[in-house]
Structure 1
Amino acid sequence: MKKNRIRHSGIRRCILVLLMASTFPALGQESHKKMLSKGDYALWGTLDIDRTSATALWASYTVQYGSGQDTLWVTSTIGGRTYDFPNGYASSFSGDSYFYCMQETEGLMVIDLATGWQLAVKEAVSYAPTATGIVVACRDSLGNNRLEIRGRDGRPVATIPGGATFSVSPDGSSFVFAVQGSQNQLGIYSLKKKRSITVATGLAEYAGFKWSPAGNGLAFLRLAPSGIHGPESNAVCYYDLRAGTLATCSPENYSDFPKGMAIATSGINPLAVSNDGKRVFFPVRDGQEEAADLEGSDVQVWNGNDNQLYPELKKIGNWHKVEKTVAWYPEKRRILQLTSKELPVMFLDGQQRHAITHNPYQSKSNGGFADPSDFYITDLKSGARRPLFENHSRDPSQMSASPSGKYILYFKGGHWWLYTIATGMHSDLSARFGIDFTDSRNDFPEVTSCGVVGWTANDASLLLYDDYDIWEIVPCTGAKRITDGRPANTRYRIGGTIGSVAADPERDLMTGKVLDPVAGIPLLATHLDDYSNSIWFWKKNTPLVKMASSSGRIDQVTYGPASARCIFREQDYDRPPVLMATDGGSSSLLMASNPQQADYHWGKSEIIHYAVAGGKALRGALFYPAGYDPKIKYPMVVHIYQQQSELVNRYINPSDHEMAGFNVSNFTTRGYLVLLPDIVFEIGNPGLSAASCVIAATQAVIDKGIVDPKRIGLDGHSFGGYEANFIVTQTDMFAAATSGAGLSDLTSEYLTVDWSFSMPQIWKAETNQLRIGKSLFEDPEAYRRNSPITGAARVSAPVLLWTGEEDRHVHYHQTIAFYMALRRLDKRTIMLIYPRETHALVEEKNQADLAHRIEDWFDYHLKGAPGADWILKGISD
């Protein structure tokens, strides 16, 4: 046993209160604070809620550091003990009594939450909770495997020698295990009966375990050794625990097995079992490879009438190489192929009685979800297939299958429609109830909804979002608004991860959550005037009850229905994240992160307001420098993307390890203002829209009299990099700019390939982020006037460009093209190309290098700091 690591709450809470109080020091204390240096960044950690017990009387959370010295903590939410597990992971609770987690050095840790007693299982490599305790996979120093059945307190009950892989049933009453040896064995252990039964033995390997949702059936793969055929060939098996029978499906023993097909064992499409345990879904693949187009030739043939580009076609082989899905009925000895070359993509209804299929490349693809498809629905009982809807978006966020299998919800033409599977009827919910569910904040050419919340039990009703509120819709009967956020400019959304998910989320991708408003659901309200948050509790047929509120940001809400307690994270830009608990009364502090901030000067944030041509009101998030003095006019960096004002209350750890090189707190602690403006777009003018919004936002800060208008910089990455490239061609407002992985020539981009996904870039321009709305050939002038290359001669600011040499998402040639234009025009520019990097930097040394160079660039051009050698060698003033 390991000695307790207990933190007693009384002393600890006093310390926490003092730490929180120190975040708001008296004015005289400011003189004792320090300025932050890069060497201090390592002191900052990131607080995240890990999980809660079912009653939320206990919570676990992590604090992660850039150095890797992370810690998993467990704390009582009503006062009591706190425990810490350095580098802990894979945690779980057993009621409110025990907590389990893995540690790199200790193996499995078991702790009695009431007493602090702990047990370490050092040879453990993995574990899983059960109804009676835990199952632990162990490996000794000689490499011998075993499975240990242990009680809730971690004490051993039984051992299965040689057991390595296992899977616990959904109800936790049994687990399947595999033992490898001269004769491999697959068994099922009943925790209630405390004994195992042998399901299969042989030379084959047993893998891919998948339980039926009720836990009374098990599907698995029998993988034959290389070169073995006949009785020991690859097969899908299903064991019925109630009947004690084993059924086997393989090409050899089923006459209706798809001809020329073999069982796919790649693991890309795992096995699935229907809710009623009567159908097993598994993937098959073509047994033979297609012949090459030209024998012995490696010439790429890009056909003009292909619906996909050659790279994608080569990958999927005209759908020949893509795994297909079949439904197997073990009791009826029947197989039904669900997907095919013609309809290769599928999802199931909520009860897996119908398959919805489509071909994403039924017409020539322009990339993304922009290409519509015709959808079909197949009755798995009869095998009959009929059209579902035509020419519909493939965006999965705009569809939802009801959990009880009665409906398919889909968004089309700006309306939510409901398809009743039993009758084949389509009903326009938006028109019937007169509710606008479109997302008014979406400024893309395609109209989208605000989203689906979920469904109630037995598909009795569904919950949908509009711009502000949550609506409960009883199909074809009535609609009720649950919240009243619109008059108060408040947006209500479900708080946290609430509701049960599909029985098999790997295949039921479209099946919505089941929510229980009778028991109650926490809601998170965002007050759009200042982005402050509050938590409310909704219980059916009762008024909303406020549980907690903050002037800052609330997120990571978790809820314990057994106790009606909420655990959440609270923060503001100048207040490090804290872990809080509430039961609807007063909120209690459980943990305060980053107390060292109290020793340093720090910035603050606020919302600014501005308007663009036409009078549209916009907002931005403005971050003030640490130790702000209103008598000083500061330099400022404007960091751009799309809409970012919602980040005003987010705490940002200082760090040199950002994937795009820019960190707000790095700059505020270096004496800069930082502005994150909202940008809205006019269809057909992405660049001009960005310039209009950013110039207006920047001018609004200049008008406040706090920024030196001659010392303002501009930064952006990806789409923000494109915006930065374009904006410096339109104005001399910025004294310097940095741009990463941004577009420079929309015409050439339109006519190339996103090699990361082997798809055309056309959709990005016409219907996605660039928002042109028309093809290059319909409106070539729109592409020309919004291309940074077109206005390169007007650039006056020095521009630092950077990209990854392996970037094929926004090809690094786009950055090179802008560099070549600026170089030919004798503009001040330097380009950084990072080897082995793609669209964003992942190597820590490169992240730090870029962060330092961006800071050097702005320090030199905005602060008048001495130029680093790499800058002085690269540009001449």
Structure 2
Amino acid sequence: MLKYLLLLAGLASLPASLPALGQQAPKKPLDHTVYDQWQSVANQHLSANGQYVLYQVKPQQGDGVLYIKTTGGRLVRQVPRGDSAQFSADSRYAVFSIKPRYQDVRQARIKKKKPDQMPKDSLGVLALATGQLTKYANVKSFQLAEEAPVLAFLGPKPAVKDSLKKAAPVDTVKKITDKLLEVKKEGALLTVLRLTGGPARTFEAVTDYQLSKPGNAVAFAVAAPRGDKATKSGLFVLELASGRLRRVSAGKGVYKNLAFDDAGQQLAFTAEKFPEKALVKPFSLYYAAVAGADSARLLLAPGASVLKRGWSPSGFGKVAFSDNGEKLFFGTAPDPVPQDTTLVDFEHAKLDIWNYKDDYLQPMQLKTLKKDLQRNYLAVIYPRAGGKFVQLEDEYLRDSFVAEQRDAEYVLAVTDTAKRVAMQWQGNTLKQAYLVSTRTGERIAINPKAAKSRFQLSPQGRYVVWYDYEQKNWFSFDVATRKTTNLTAKTGVAMADEENDSPDDPQPYGVAAWTKNDEALLVYDRYDIWKLNPRTGAATNFTAGLGRRQRLRFRYELPIPKQKFIEPKAELWLLTQADSTKQWGYYKKSLASAQAPQRVALGPVSYSPLLQAKHAPVFAYTKQSVQAPPDLYVSRDLVHETRLSSINPQQKDYNWFTAELVHWTTPRGHAATGILYKPENFDPAKKYPMVVYFYEKLSENLYHYNAPAPTPSRLDLALFASNGYLVFTPDISYTIGEPGPSAVDFINSGVESLKKNAWVDGAHIGLQGQSWGGYQVAYLITQTPMYAAAWAGAPVVNMTSAYGGIRWESGMSRQFQYEHTQSRIGGTLWEKPDLYIRNSPLFSLPKVQTPVVIMANDADGAVPWYQGIEMFTDLRRLGKPVWLLQYNGEAHNLVKRENRKDISIRELQFFDHYLKGAPAPVWLDKGVPAVEKGRNWGLEVSSK
């Protein structure tokens, strides 16, 4: 292993010769040692008053830094390893976890420490006005009240200030004990405090807790450690204003789903209190008024007459009150089947039984097994109205959606029961939608005939809207009148993908947002945004057709976290991309205005969606380009802006790269577009090798910042361009039934067009692609000898054998992919066998003249591992130069960072050898025997 690590460090390029006196030293090419230090901005938040912003600067590996600044740019505090930060509701405090040092965690992992011996998080509380930072050690989790500066956190008792130690005897369920390990097994210490001052309250052996939204109360479950007779197990409620503490439910058991209403006046939870050895442990539902009686009221017990026989409240269903607190939503479920403890494990068969009548294939059932064991069915009860109960879901109608305004009478339920088998070849199911009354249980059918549709409930619950794939329009259903209206039939434009090149219904462009009181719905066409009246069907082009006229794509996201709709007087900031130049920017338009959007900014950069302060017109966003990393900015108008971060200053020391759009016409007459990346020190008098990387369409990423990073199996654009390669990423459009020839049409013609430039080394061009890109690499090298090297990650080479296989990550059959989606054959194997064979590289492998590396991992859940094996063994038999990299236990794309670093090294070595004439490494020249696995990685240069 030491040899491997030393080799990694030594793979950096050799130093250039020293410059003459007075000359600037040439910039270094990127190498494999730079990855860990490269930074990104993450987890940015604005305070509600718009005066403060926080964000993390995170290296790819190592310790990040949390920055807390004013929106004017003044640094308030810099916190090493700060994470998961939030502002308090009053904008006076920032609360965050502080992660252990990366090196400490690494050493603990090396020493194989147990989980309870690993380094722990701390908690930080920063007073923004004074800059005072208070820390608490060994904190497992924390919660901030949504509407008040109240904090609760779980972990051992801190030793911070004397004021935190002045708690009266009533403050703890029992005195703190030194039996920390025992406490950890049963629970941990809960601390509750007001950030504005006052004594902290601490409670031991807490396993779960929940703060109310207004911060007036906290509920928590206590599990007394074994042998501890002083601690009382149960569910407790603490009222913060009065200090009143009471046990609302007594006894050992499992307490889950603690939920307050929005006003913090009601509490509900589920619990089971059966003996530890009981074979079946169904839950009960409990209710308590926060300022009410000492004991919670049992709302619903197992076997209650209102429940189905053998059903109980579920411990896995989410418990939630309606906005007005009148209704309580929760889940019910059949009681678990008791396990027969008399069975001897080794005397019974272990098998999966596949039946053609099953709704879902066995692999899908096994993938969703945990979810299915926890499946529960939505119900509602009225705690303050005599406990009235309504079951909303059942085995037939088992997927429902509650409106954002949870007081709405109806929930939306969608079912595909008895329509699921066809998912095997269609990739989706036909659905029927119903409105279910939370008062009576009445079910109102939205679409009497099952259809391919996407349904959603409006925020106030007044309408159901959906896109119908067959009719290719948006529809609404008025809950009050029960009338269905076609909303987009008269718009005269398509509401679904105009560029669809798959043998399936085009996907809708989607919904932007609703306006207040469900008065209007904003939906997208290719370019513009339409304002639709869900009651009358009146449709107005909200962006006044500017998008289509100027080929500008307008999109919108609600900018304030947890915002549910657009206010009537709101000004909408529309994220915009110009089709022809791929530039990004923002236009703005008032919701009430009939005028076209006004341009604010549009240029050779790309923007993130805006984040807006809750109570102030202040925005935070990132902006980036090929040369500029995505730094964080704040602004009120997106014209006068303040840059808050300045990440990756080390970039100036390296040879970076540029990007430009290129255009050409394919042999079939298609107008084509791609991106050409060039080294920053590009010299048109020189010749450059080129690597072609592709998937489907990538040109919209023209102004995307590509940080050097160990690849999950794609091409590291930054690394290659910095090291003297041209990188070409062509867009591809497809003809149904001809995915392979379509790739040839676009990719090869794009390469031929670029080869006309004297600075392209036409004899040294390589291909790289992953997954669908890997398939296209495999196909291309069977059609032409012009590529000097190829790298195919997770390729499908035999569509006939892959057609009926399983995508193991989801358990789904692969048939739908060939008949309807990406593989684009458009029919079954027995309907169009010639197309499956014609588009399969396997049947043309004797034509291959290009050296090729295949990555095929043994835990790939998307492309069958054996596809890579078929390609390797057949090319090997044909005597072709071929290598296969199989990362043990890895998925379709590499996950483990050590494997990503490894493949990045090998990929550059491979192309350097075949496109630049560099010496071959051992793994490429001689291979690495299995007996040397784990001791020799073969990365050093081979000695002949």
Using the size of structure 2 for normalisation, the TM-score is 0.82
Distance in 2 between the 1:101 and 1:679 partners?
45
Q: Which moved more, 1:163-172 or 1:523-532?
A: 163-172
Higher strand share goes to which structure? 1
Aligned to 2:62: 68
Aligned to 2:260: 211
Listed as ranges, the matches of 1:685-764 within 5 Å are 685-764=738-817
Q: CA deviation at 1:133?
A: 3.1
**Residues 487 and 32 of structure 1: is their aligned pair in 2 closer, same or farther, counting only changes over 3 Å?**
same
Distance in 2 between the 1:601 and 1:828 partners?
33
Contact 1:205 1:223 in 2 (8 A): yes
In the alignment, structure 1 residue 864 sits paired with structure 2 residue 930? no
Measured against aligned partners, the alpha-carbon deviations of 1:391-445 in whole angstroms (never above 9, x if no partner) come to 65667xx332101111111111211111222333221111144443112233332
1:377 aligned residue (435, 438, 443): 435
Aligned to 2:137: 122
In the alignment, structure 1 residue 560 sits paired with structure 2 residue 590? no
| Aligned partner of residue 436 in structure 1, secondary structure | coil
In the alignment, structure 1 residue 533 sits paired with structure 2 residue 593? no
1:46 aligned residue (36, 40, 44): 40
2:571 aligned residue (520, 527, 533): 520
In the alignment, structure 1 residue 357 sits paired with structure 2 residue 414? yes
Q: Return the letter of the residue paired with 2:881.
A: R
Distance in 1 between the 2:771 and 2:365 partners?
28
In the alignment, structure 1 residue 235 sits paired with structure 2 residue 284? yes
Distance in 1 between the 2:531 and 2:272 partners?
48
Distance in 2 between the 1:286 and 1:780 partners?
49
Measured against aligned partners, the alpha-carbon deviations of 1:812-848 in whole angstroms (never above 9, x if no partner) come to 0011111122122222211111111121112222212
Contact 2:782 2:848 in 1 (8 A): yes
Q: Which moved more, 1:864-873 or 1:542-551?
A: 542-551
Distance in 2 between the 1:708 and 1:537 partners?
46
2:446 aligned residue (348, 365, 388): 388
Listed as ranges, the matches of 1:78-477 within 5 Å are 78-94=72-88, 95-105=90-100, 107-130=122-145, 131-140=148-157, 142-143=179-180, 145-153=188-196, 156-163=199-206, 165-181=208-224, 182-227=231-276, 234-241=283-290, 246-252=296-302, 254-265=304-315, 267=316, 269-277=317-325, 278-288=327-337, 298=350, 300-313=352-365, 323-329=375-381, 330=383, 331-350=385-404, 351=406, 353-359=410-416, 362-367=419-424, 369-389=427-447, 392=450, 398-412=454-468, 413=470, 414-444=472-502, 445-475=504-534, 476-477=536-537
In the alignment, structure 1 residue 783 sits paired with structure 2 residue 836? yes
Contact 2:487 2:538 in 1 (8 A): no
Listed as ranges, the matches of 1:590-601 within 5 Å are 590-601=644-655
Contact 2:434 2:444 in 1 (8 A): yes
Aligned to 1:5: none
Contact 2:412 2:456 in 1 (8 A): no
Contact 1:517 1:540 in 2 (8 A): yes
Contact 1:493 1:523 in 2 (8 A): yes
Contact 1:286 1:320 in 2 (8 A): no
Contact 1:573 1:649 in 2 (8 A): yes
Distance in 2 between the 1:612 and 1:526 partners?
25
Q: Which moved more, 1:146-155 or 1:807-816?
A: 146-155
Aligned to 1:59: 53
Q: Which moved more, 1:580-589 or 1:758-767?
A: 580-589
In angstroms, what is the RMSD of aligned CA positions?
3.1
Q: Return the letter of the residue paired with 1:375.
A: A
Q: Which moved more, 1:172-181 or 1:574-583?
A: 172-181
| Aligned partner of residue 856 in structure 2, secondary structure | strand
**Residues 316 and 101 of structure 1: is their aligned pair in 2 closer, same or farther, counting only changes over 3 Å?**
closer
Aligned to 2:549: 487
Contact 1:417 1:427 in 2 (8 A): yes
Distance in 2 between the 1:195 and 1:234 partners?
28
Distance in 2 between the 1:394 and 1:281 partners?
29
Contact 1:636 1:707 in 2 (8 A): yes
Q: CA deviation at 1:699?
A: 2.4
Q: Which moved more, 1:528-537 or 1:567-576?
A: 528-537
**Residues 110 and 738 of structure 1: is their aligned pair in 2 closer, same or farther, counting only changes over 3 Å?**
same
Distance in 2 between the 1:55 and 1:765 partners?
52
Aligned to 2:562: 500
**Residues 418 and 670 of structure 1: is their aligned pair in 2 closer, same or farther, counting only changes over 3 Å?**
same
Distance in 2 between the 1:233 and 1:371 partners?
33
Structure 1 regions of 5+ residues with no counterpart? 1-27, 502-512
**Residues 647 and 694 of structure 1: is their aligned pair in 2 closer, same or farther, counting only changes over 3 Å?**
same
1:766 aligned residue (819, 840, 848): 819
Distance in 2 between the 1:237 and 1:215 partners?
16
Distance in 2 between the 1:822 and 1:272 partners?
60
In the alignment, structure 1 residue 620 sits paired with structure 2 residue 674? yes
**Residues 520 and 681 of structure 1: is their aligned pair in 2 closer, same or farther, counting only changes over 3 Å?**
same
Listed as ranges, the matches of 1:806-825 within 5 Å are 806-825=859-878
Distance in 2 between the 1:231 and 1:787 partners?
53
Distance in 2 between the 1:408 and 1:702 partners?
55
Q: Return the letter of the residue paired with 1:173.
A: N
Distance in 2 between the 1:418 and 1:73 partners?
46
| Aligned partner of residue 192 in structure 2, secondary structure | strand
Distance in 1 between the 2:632 and 2:518 partners?
36
**Residues 805 and 155 of structure 1: is their aligned pair in 2 closer, same or farther, counting only changes over 3 Å?**
farther
**Residues 718 and 290 of structure 1: is their aligned pair in 2 closer, same or farther, counting only changes over 3 Å?**
farther
Q: CA deviation at 1:551?
A: 2.0
Contact 1:223 1:235 in 2 (8 A): yes
Q: Which moved more, 1:699-708 or 1:837-846?
A: 699-708
Contact 2:436 2:442 in 1 (8 A): yes
Q: CA deviation at 1:31?
A: 4.4
Distance in 2 between the 1:525 and 1:485 partners?
9
Distance in 2 between the 1:40 and 1:825 partners?
40
Q: Which moved more, 1:56-65 or 1:353-362?
A: 353-362
**Residues 322 and 392 of structure 1: is their aligned pair in 2 closer, same or farther, counting only changes over 3 Å?**
farther
**Residues 304 and 289 of structure 1: is their aligned pair in 2 closer, same or farther, counting only changes over 3 Å?**
farther
**Residues 33 and 306 of structure 1: is their aligned pair in 2 closer, same or farther, counting only changes over 3 Å?**
closer
Contact 2:48 2:614 in 1 (8 A): yes
Q: Return the letter of the residue paired with 1:376.
A: Y
**Residues 696 and 761 of structure 1: is their aligned pair in 2 closer, same or farther, counting only changes over 3 Å?**
same
| Aligned partner of residue 805 in structure 1, secondary structure | coil
Measured against aligned partners, the alpha-carbon deviations of 1:323-361 in whole angstroms (never above 9, x if no partner) come to 230413143434444333334433334446224131355
Q: CA deviation at 1:547?
A: 4.8
Structure 2 regions of 5+ residues with no counterpart? 1-21, 101-120, 158-177, 225-230, 929-941
Distance in 1 between the 2:196 and 2:429 partners?
55
Listed as ranges, the matches of 1:654-665 within 5 Å are 654-655=708-709, 657-660=710-713, 662-665=715-718
Contact 1:500 1:515 in 2 (8 A): no
Contact 2:560 2:614 in 1 (8 A): no
Contact 2:313 2:330 in 1 (8 A): no
Contact 1:62 1:73 in 2 (8 A): yes
Distance in 1 between the 2:79 and 2:767 partners?
43
